[in-house]
Structure 1
Amino acid sequence: MSRVRARGTALGALAALALAAAGAAPGAPGPGGREPLGWYDRHAEGWFWYKDPPPEEERKEEAEERPAAPAPQAAPPAPLAAEQLSADPREALRRLREQLEIAQARAVMEPTPENVRAYMAINLAVQRRAERFANVWQRVLWEHPELDPRTEQPVAQAAIHAWRDWVAGKVRERLRAAAARWGIWYFYDSTCPYCRRMAPVLRRFADEHGFHVLAIALDGVPVPEFPDARPDTRGWKERLGVTTVPALFLVDPRERKVVSLGAGYMAPSELAERIYTALEGHPPGAPAATGAGPAIREASL
């Protein structure tokens, strides 16, 4: 009988503890009014103590973490109006460029929708002004073709081939006429590898265009292309300032005039262009106004 009573007493105590634990709110103070510590005081919450903070704490934390709103930006200046551009075009262009640069820098460094939109507006205004300028430029070229450089040096592929053929014909005519008055002096050294390459090229070039070539061997040794080469017994090297071989000069013996064509190996096309440029003062096919004038000087030959 005593055993049954003891068991009932124990079950009653356990039931009382269970009811007390079930009626306690999670996180409520433990026995004696102290804060609940450990699992034995907070066993009703289970093993995992993940709880959402109260709404007041959430709002407080969000307010602390939210970044401060940026200070209001001053409105960007509007693009210059037409009446502002007519007073001083240089100052107006400078101000327009400055507005564009400031708006671009602000949009890149602080890319807010307002800054980007302001830059796009100014950039669009500048683009439209540039398009109007380009359209007027094109119409002026149509009405005044003498101002269009493409009439002298075309850019269309078919026209380029025709232009090159025309220029080559003019060069051949000029060289043929020059060969009747001018000759070529050729300074070389038989041991120079570039001279050995240049000699056959110059021989064929002279035969094609009718030039007489006076070959001057600085070492006194003739070469197969110029078996009648002369040694430099009159000091022409010093008088003409020859420092590098092969060296070529265009010479008019009657008028005692000379034109330096340069030194080093030259292809036939390059040699023809140099002779034409030296006599005409501008490259083949280029306007005469772009040249520096004929490079002819007198010399004591």
Structure 2
Amino acid sequence: MKRHAFVPVLLLASVVASNAPADTTDPHSFWAQKQRGWFFYEDPPEPPEEAPAPPPLEPQSQTVQTITEAPAQATPAPPQAFSAEWFRKNLPKYKDVAWDNPTVENVRAFMMLQRYAMDRSSQFADVTQLAVQGDPLLDENARRPNATYAAQALDKQAGEAKAQVLDELAQKVGVFFFYASDCDLCETQIPVLRMLESRFTVTPVSIDGKDLPGSPFPTFKPDAGHARILGVRQLPAIYLASPDGDFAPIAQGALALGDIEHRITLAAASKGWIDQRTLNRTRPLRNLDDNLSELLPAGLVEGDESGFIPPSELLQHIDQSLGSARVGGGELP
């Protein structure tokens, strides 16, 4: 009797199990694909074909750039000890060493080199004296004697030559004196102008059209624009004037008579009213006509790659250019 009661229980459990919801989470299950019907008779799908593997990449040729290193330059040899170049490079170093570390050894080394330099300088000075002796181009005593009597004689000679040149210039040019009636320095310049009038014709030109106090210039000329044309900015102003209307500035400010006369000769030379040789005669110096910067032509001789010319070769070319006879004041003709 009990066995028959168990059978209905099993049947009930099977019915409940058949009515339970199926797992639809698996996309390949029957319940997920029920719209297809009884598809279990279908052939299983073929596996997808694998894509062919890409061919291996061929290695690209790389251009190898060869860097050619420049040949190492040879290190220049150091300068010879105690030469001029060696002293220029190393004497300051020895001084620095002695200063930074003033031991007896460091200071003594620097002082030894300093003594060497002073002895060489003394030797250079002695040889310099020998080099200039007998050569009037190099001997400054030949240009301007140190002896007082000779210097005074040269001053007298130059003064006489200047007076002669000024007398000759006074026949060719005149002096224009620009002033204003309220200019104090213009008034103080009057005595100098009186002395200048003993040689030159002086033409007073008034900037404001008036005479100075005391009427020193009764025949003055009112300025007709010459001051502006000549660029007069300060009074008194002195100009040389030639008959053809050419002007040469002498001064803008008060000057002594000697300075005015000296400037007149310089201005006359710059204008070509006198030549350079005539101007040199007015100076208390000799051998001014032997101007090496004018006598020696450019490109006299070619040197090495740095332009250096050995001393003996340089002197030979200079002497040939100047000639054996140098003519000047006091030299043999």
Say if 2:237 is the partner of 1:247.
yes
Unaligned runs of 5+ in 2: 1-77, 271-278, 294-333
Say if 2:273 is the partner of 1:273.
no
Deviations 1:155-182 (A, max 9, x none): 4444433333233222212111111111
1:99-110 alignment runs, 5 A limit: 99-110=90-101
C-alpha distance in structure 2 between counterparts of 1:155 and 1:280, whole Å: 28
Match of 2:172 among 181, 189, 200: 181
Match of 1:222 in 2: 211
Deviations 1:111-130 (A, max 9, x none): 22211221122122222222
| Cα drift, residue 138 of structure 1 | 1.1
Unaligned runs of 5+ in 1: 1-76, 86-92, 292-301
Match of 1:154 in 2: 145
Match of 2:247 among 258, 274, 281: 258
Q: Structure 1 counterpart of 2:245, which letter?
A: R
Deviations 1:73-119 (A, max 9, x none): xxxx99825xxx4xxxxxxx232122222222222332222112211
Say if 2:114 is the partner of 1:80.
no
| Cα drift, residue 212 of structure 1 | 0.3
Distance 1:219 1:265, change over 3 A: same
Distance 1:290 1:177, change over 3 A: farther
Deviations 1:172-221 (A, max 9, x none): 121111111110011111111011111221122221xx100111111222
Say if 2:156 is the partner of 1:165.
yes
Q: Structure 2 counterpart of 1:217, which letter?
A: S
Tell me the TM-score normalised to structure 1 length: 0.60
Say if 2:131 is the partner of 1:130.
no
C-alpha distance in structure 1 between counterparts of 2:164 and 2:132, whole Å: 32
Secondary structure of residue in 2 paired with 1:111? coil
Distance 1:245 1:200, change over 3 A: same
Higher helix share: 1
Distance 1:107 1:163, change over 3 A: farther
Q: Structure 2 counterpart of 1:196, which letter?
A: E
Q: Single out whichever of 270-279 and 186-195 deviates more from structure 2.
A: 270-279
Distance 1:107 1:176, change over 3 A: same
Match of 1:67 in 2: none
1:18-167 alignment runs, 5 A limit: 80=81, 85=83, 93-167=84-158
Tell me the TM-score normalised to structure 2 length: 0.54
- The answer on whether the counterparts of 1:203 and 1:225 sit within 8 Å (CA) in structure 2 is no
Q: Structure 2 counterpart of 1:263, which letter?
A: Q
Higher RCO structure (Cα 8 Å, ≥6 apart): 2
C-alpha distance in structure 2 between counterparts of 1:160 and 1:194, whole Å: 35
* Corresponding pairs, count: 201
Match of 1:42 in 2: none
| Cα drift, residue 276 of structure 1 | 1.6
C-alpha distance in structure 2 between counterparts of 1:280 and 1:269, whole Å: 17
Say if 2:181 is the partner of 1:190.
yes
- The answer on whether the counterparts of 1:185 and 1:213 sit within 8 Å (CA) in structure 2 is yes
Q: Structure 2 counterpart of 1:94, which letter?
A: E
Match of 1:201 among 172, 180, 192: 192
C-alpha distance in structure 1 between counterparts of 2:79 and 2:162, whole Å: 58
Distance 1:240 1:170, change over 3 A: same
Name the larger-Rg structure.
2
Say if 2:226 is the partner of 1:236.
yes
C-alpha distance in structure 2 between counterparts of 1:204 and 1:126, whole Å: 56
Match of 2:329 in 1: none
Distance 1:155 1:229, change over 3 A: same
